[in-house]
Structure 1
């Protein structure tokens, strides 16, 4: 029996030498009857062939006769194919490669966004235009086509597509933080706009009242949004880089007498968590560390700052020895010196004030387990401070690629 040939050239990169025959490119789209016959032949070949077939994803096909008789009833099938010889091009599977913030509408205010995106269908279309730019991309195989099958439910299209190459169903929310959520897209969009535009954030208690959801749901939504705010791009600072550390935690004066911790002032780690930060050319980077010793901080600096750059720090002894690889400038704060020509650490210390005012004023407390997400949240707003609220909202939707599970959050 002749081998069945599929067209993978539109969504895969492959090596011709790995196939026994020449690549076959059909001149037209297969008819529903031809697709059904291909499915039947594949099932028969798999059951009767003595040669070990290629390993593919386990699929449960209906009986051939039943599949043939139900084809006229518009019963959709799914045929994902993933041979070993196929090399997935992951770079095109998430979103459009030429995506821009102005691909979709940029809203001027919260009221403008609510007026335009007044239902879930409008929100879905805005997300499709922003992430796909008019060309739906299958998240299962990376196929980018304008003519993917548009599946309707009772004659109404609600954003469900079927890939013409791998036959898998998908929507624009697959693989994003909206995937599988029972919360409507409209509420998600309102939460993202509020969270990204408020300088110090919004608490879960306030959000649950604004969206009419439970506090647990609001907290989970905010945690997913914070997780999408983290920086996933590898980079290195090149220029004058300010480095500093701070400690996040409550003060003994604000605790009851029976809950106060002795000898917790200064750099004590009994009730506070250290956070290390770097700022260069208006961009800030933060990381929660276990301590502020030189063994902990120097590897971070060497990894994130280009060799030979100027490092500006205070007189903390952990920074001693940086002059071997960098041009180190020390600002002795204990002697009342806070600036030496163009060198100072006022920028990173100003960011620490934003972080602490937000935690103390809005969230009141941040556990060490989730502190890194709060730091990512404030770093994201600081790094996008020159954007408008509408541009930051669109950027947040573009970066909503990771789906944080609740069991991971509370583990």
Structure 2
């Protein structure tokens, strides 16, 4: 872990310019006088769980094609479900290596000159017919509740390239999200939704397929790739997690995107990539507030 984080040159997390001393208590930052170790200001900071258990959890989460439930991880590590869930959420918090943003840097946009990027949206949430009698009765009395557990998710997929998924909040304007995440020189591929017609003119080319007319491909125009991604995401949620709350949906989207983007690499490479990105520490209070 020290090799991945510092590559032989230890850097103080409190002052990068400071000289560092090695002591019996770990490392000491000269400028601040604070002690630290390789776990400081990382996913593993202030944890009572052994690093070996954390490494096993990371290996399992990154290696399983559709993820692993907290109940199963708890059995594998011999810890409680609550502990396993907290570990999983901490790990998911580090998956956002290429997460979508509303004002993403130009150098990190998807696509580019002549590159096709498929964009589509989907609704994540349970069907009314699968809800309890009490919930179905409540929805029948108040139609607005039908959407109370549903969240829109936008997907961006480079053909033969990267994937991004973004859970959309009420204040997000989807055309702005598309402009922020896709390079203007790209070949944009969408369906006929008005949302995408508004933004299509801002790109080098806008290819459209009309699903209402049973059209799924028209020459190079197609959104079959991103729709396949949504199908795989649904399999993950339905088969492994069963339910994902709107509050935590983005973390699950980042987890899925990480595995999709690294699907052609080895388990070891995925493990090391995540371990190199584990600088985000999530506390239990932050997670449950």
- Residue 231 of structure 1: SS of its match in structure 2? helix
Instruction: Please tell me whether the aligned partners of residues 277 and 284 of structure 1 are also in contact (alpha carbons under 8 angstroms).
Output: yes
- Report the Cα offset of residue 321 of structure 1: 2.5
Structure 1 match to 2:162 = 283
Q: Taking structure 1 as the reference length, what is the TM-score of the superposition?
A: 0.62
Rounded to whole Å, the distance in 1 between the matches of 2:150 and 2:33 is 53
| CA displacement at 1:162 relative to structure 2 | 2.0
**What corresponds to 1:248 in structure 2?**
124
Decide whether aligned partners of structure 1 residues 167 and 372 sit closer, same or farther in structure 2, where only a CA change above 3 A counts.
same
Which whole-Å deviations, capped at 9, do the CAs of 1:302-349 have from their partners, x for residues lacking one? Answer: 111222422111121221233431221110112121112222111111
2:22 corresponds in structure 1 to 150
Secondary structure, counterpart of 2:120 in structure 1: strand
Q: The residue matched to 2:121 in structure 1 has which SS?
A: strand
Structure 1 residue 389 corresponds to structure 2 residue 267: yes
Residues 18, 31 of structure 2: 8 Å contact kept: no
Distance 1:169 1:316 in 2: 56
Residue 258 (1) aligns with residue 131 (2): no
Where does residue 378 of structure 1 map in the other structure? 256
CA distance in 2, matches of 1:264, 1:131: 53
Q: How does 1:306-325 map to 2 (within 5 A)?
A: 306-325=183-202
- Write the distance in 1 (CA, Å) between the matches of 2:10 and 2:183: 39
The alpha-carbon deviation at position 163 of structure 1 amounts to: 3.3
Structure 1 residue 216, shift from structure 2 partner? 1.2
**Count of aligned positions:** 273
1:191 aligned to 57, 79, 82, which one? 57
C-alpha distance in structure 1 between counterparts of 2:185 and 2:37, whole Å: 48
* Change over 3 Å in CA distance of 1:330–1:263 after alignment to 2: farther
Is the 8 Å Cα contact of residues 136 and 144 (structure 1) preserved in structure 2? Answer: no
Larger RCO (alpha carbons 8 Å, 6+ apart): 2
RMSD: 2.3
Task: Find the aligned partners of 1:183 and 1:270 in 2 and give their Cα distance.
Answer: 37
Partner of 1:189, secondary structure, is: helix
Query: Residue 130 of structure 1 corresponds to which residue in structure 2?
Result: 4
Where does 1:18-97 land on structure 2 (aligned, <5 Å)?
none
Which residue number in structure 2 is paired with residue 221 of structure 1? 87
Aligned mate of 1:168, from 17, 22, 34: 34
Task: Return the alpha-carbon distance in structure 2 between the equivalents of residues 262 and 241 of structure 1.
Answer: 40
| C-alpha contact 1:202 1:362 (8 A) present in aligned 2 | yes
The answer to whether the 8 Å contact 2:175/2:198 transfers is no
Q: Which residue of 1 aligns with 2:109?
A: 236
Alpha-carbon deviations, 1:214-252, whole Å to 9, x = none? 211111110011010013674112221101011111112
Q: Give the drift of 1:143.
A: 4.4
Q: Going by fraction, where is helix more abundant, 1 or 2?
A: 2
What is the aligned partner in structure 2 of residue 366 from structure 1?
244
In the alignment, structure 1 segments of 5+ residues that lack a partner are 1-126, 154-159
Question: How far apart, in 1, do the equivalents of 2:98 and 2:263 lie?
Answer: 19
User: Which range moved further: 134-143 or 201-210?
Assistant: 134-143
SS of match in other structure, 1:369: helix
Work out the CA distance in 1 between the residues paired with 2:141 and 2:225.
30
Greater Cα radius of gyration, structure 1 or 2: 1
Residue 201 (structure 1) aligned to one of 55, 61, 67: 67
Q: Judging changes above 3 Å, is the alpha-carbon distance between structure 1 residues 186 and 321 closer, same or farther for their aligned structure 2 residues? A: same
